[in-house]
Amino acid sequence: MPQKQDILDRLRTGVISGDEELVKLVTQEAIDGGIDPIEIVERGLTPGITEVGAKFERMEAYLTDMMMSADAMKAGMSIVLTKIPRDKIRRQGTVVLGTVKGDIHEIGKNILGALMTAAGLDVLDVGSDVPASVFAQKADEAGAAIIGASALMTTTLPGQKDIVDYLNSTGKRGKHSLLVGGGPTTPQWAEEIGADAYAETATEGVKLALRELERRRKQTN
């Protein structure tokens, strides 16, 4: 069997280059070779996706690179997770992401989703033109603490308020934090509608989501 470090390096570079097939093969090779599955995640797959996120920040990688890396990471994770006891799996939390009803702009939301994946969050992308009830329903199904709702037009901003109203009317407001963003969204708007956080950029969105999850964890404990 090749050196353990060599296998972990190949995993990391496989994720960076977004090579899904290679990552599947090497993950299996690592498991067959007896490498601890936790180590496969923490020293192989995760450093790869973290590096892609850092490259994106430096504008050395772009959205499609991140999406392909996220796919490769997920492919590796789907193999390795079957070998890790549930209580040993350490995930940051789940976020449901989408663009509000009437709005079909997706790129900002997709960039945020890819950066969140790179930061270790589980992201459920519900797409664009999404009604408030679907955001809430998907968040319930996925056990997501955070709903991220993007709006790119002044006329579709009310879709973010609809989510707050829907959560309030169904008695689920406390279950989910609402993170809003997109071109015409402002901190004043977020405050006016009662959103929990406003992010101007995707990078800020990741930080706010992690902070909000941490706040919720502390509240629970």
Partner 1 sequence: MITYLDVLKGIHTGKICSERDFDLRVFAPKLKEVLKAHEIKYDPENPVPDDDALADDLWRAAMDFYCDVGTYCLDTERIVQFDANEIAQTLKTAPREFAFGEGKERKTLTQRKPEDQTPPWCFLGAAGAAVSSEANLLSLVRGYAEIPVIDSLTSPALTTVEGMRIVGGSPLEIFGAIRAVGLARQALSRAGKPGLPIMNCISTASSAIATIAASQPQFGLRTSDGWPCGTIAEMKVDYGVLSKGAYLLSWGANVCSETAPVLGGYAGGPEGTALVNTAYNILGTVIQKASYQLSFPMHYRFGCNTERRTLWSISLSSQAITRNSRLPLFIIGYVASGPMTEMVLYETAAWIIATVASGAHVEAEGVCKATHVDHFTPMEPGFAAEVAYAATGIKRSFANELVKTLLSRYEEKLNNPPLGKKYQECYNAETGKPSEEYLGLYSRIKTELEDLGLKFKY
Nearest residue (CB) to partner 1, 5 versus 154: 154
CB of 24 to partner 1, least distance (A): 16
- Shortest distance, CB of residue 176 to partner 1, whole angstroms? 23
Please state, as a whole number, how many other Cβ atoms lie within 10 Å of the Cβ of residue 98.
27
Of 43 and 56, which CB lies nearer to partner 1 in the complex structure? Answer: 56
3-state SS assignment for residue 181: strand
* Concatenated DSSP letters of 95-133: EEEEEBTT----HHHHHHHHHHHHTT-EEEE--SSB-HH
Q: Which is nearer to partner 1, 9 or 106 (CB)?
A: 106
**Binding residues for partner 1 (CB under 8 A):** 56, 59, 62-65, 67-68, 71, 101-108, 110-111, 153-156, 158-159, 183-184, 186, 201-203
Query: Which are the contacts of 175, defined by CB distance < 8 A and separation ≥ 6?
Result: 139, 140, 145, 167
Contacts of 207 (CB under 8 A, 6+ apart): none
Q: CA-to-CA distance for 157 and 56, rounded, in angstroms?
A: 28
CB of 43 or CB of 101, closer to partner 1 = 101
d(CA 74, CA 68): 10
Q: How far is the CB of 41 from partner 1 (least distance, A)?
A: 23
Residue type, 73: M
- To partner 1, the closest distance from the beta carbon of 82 in angstroms equals 24
- Residue 198 parent element (H or E): strand 197-199
Choose between 8 and 193: whose C-beta lies nearer to partner 1: 193
Q: Cβ 124 to partner 1, closest distance in Å?
A: 15
State the nearest-atom distance from the C-beta of 207 to partner 1, in Å: 14
Mark 126-150 as b/e (b = at least 16 C-beta within 10 Å). bebbbbbebbbbbbeeeebbbbbbb
- Taking the least distance from each CB to partner 1, the nearer of 103 and 177 is 103
